[in-house]
Amino acid sequence: MAATTAPAARREGLELITVNGVRIAYADTGGTAVPLVLVHGSWGSHHNWGPVVPGLAEHFRVLSYDRRGHSDSERPPGQGHFSEDVADLAALIEQLGLAPASVVGSSSGAVIALQLAAARADLLRGIVVHEPPLFGVLEEGSAEALAEADLEAGPLAEVGRRIAAGDHAGAAELFVDQVALGPGSWAALPDAMRAMMTCNALTYLDELNDPECVSVGESPLATYGGPALLTSGDQSPPIFAPVERRLARLLPQARQVTYVGAGHIPHVTHPEAYVAEVVAFIQSAEANSDDHVDQG
């Protein structure tokens, strides 16, 4: 993966910050409200959160950012690892004075949020995670694990081959239509989203080659006692359901919500419902926290 030069600061309202030696582009609504950090999934950028930021910003200080290697953030050379994404998220929270923050993650961004909860719970007020592809938690030999193995050997392997061959648009189309959203979804995406995914294809090749992206330390995660919201879509690929069931056992305090009529990206397709659930969850968690302080 070739190094790239980070964009100029304040481009399209973005700021730049150097964390762990890498320049990260971020957007911050500012203010003194409860801080909320949004972590995008594979192929994406902070723009994925555009439909929900205005609604969330009515209640919180909202920070969204481009993960390393994505869009306007710097792309370091060499194989990337999820441990770097987790370290970047921790550094962003600390360097921007946001701790403790609520963290919302979608798809692989949800994996990063969960890995942070396992490693640095002190930085968190709570977590909201939507359909993390944590296939490493599936029981070995189970029907779900075998289905995921077929996915890896088939469509995901072909996605990797296309990226390596330079067919980034073809790889993105295959991923969207056969893995994430369903047949015909690529053609229905806005041009800007298709361009963004094509631009960020190389980062997904890193993910395919990094076992950290599908696993989490289950014992450390089980010690996380903070508020947690696990969400899913009733139109999503079925492979995510057993992962959520496993996470619910590891995080018994977690609330579970299913978005009716939505799939893997409810913050894009059902923004009003998404904002309502996140706001209600965080406000409830904050109220409970205040009650505990008062009683203490």
Please report the pLDDT score of residue 23 as a whole number. Answer: 97
Give residue 73's domain range: 11-139+213-295
- For 251-281, the pLDDT digits (tens) are 999 999 999 999 999 999 999 999 999 999 9
> Would residue 126 count as lying in a domain?
yes
> Would residue 272 count as lying in a domain?
yes
User: Whole-angstrom Cα distance, residue 50 to residue 57?
Assistant: 11
Amino acid, res. 278: V
- Tokens 């923050």 -> residue: 101
Please report the pLDDT score of residue 121 as a whole number. Answer: 97
> Would residue 175 count as lying in a domain?
no
Residue 139's pLDDT band, with cuts at 50, 70 and 90, is: confident
**168-175 vs 157-164: helix axis angle to the nearest 10?**
160
> Would residue 94 count as lying in a domain?
yes
Is residue 80 within 8 Å of 101, Cβ to Cβ? Answer: no
User: Whole-angstrom Cα distance, residue 264 to residue 224?
Assistant: 25
Does residue 146 come out as left (phi exceeding 0), alpha (psi in the -120 to 50 range) or beta? alpha
pLDDT > 70: percent of the chain:
94
pLDDT at residue 292 tops 90: no
The angle at the Cα of 54, spanning 51 to 57, to the nearest 5 degrees, equals 135
- Taking all residues of the chain, what is their mean pLDDT, rounded to a whole number? 92
> Would residue 188 count as lying in a domain?
no
Of 43, 67, 40, 42, the closest CA to residue 52 belongs to 40
pLDDT at residue 7 tops 70: no
> Would residue 168 count as lying in a domain?
no
> Would residue 183 count as lying in a domain?
no
pLDDT at residue 40 tops 50: yes
User: Whole-angstrom Cα distance, residue 256 to residue 158?
Assistant: 33
CATH number, domain containing residue 52: 3.40.50.1820
185-193 contacts: CB < 8 A, separation 24 or more? Answer: 192/47, 193/47
Number of domains the chain is built from: 1
> Would residue 65 count as lying in a domain?
yes
**168-175 vs 191-199: helix axis angle to the nearest 10?**
110
Please report the pLDDT score of residue 289 as a whole number. Answer: 76
Tell me the pTM. Answer: 0.93
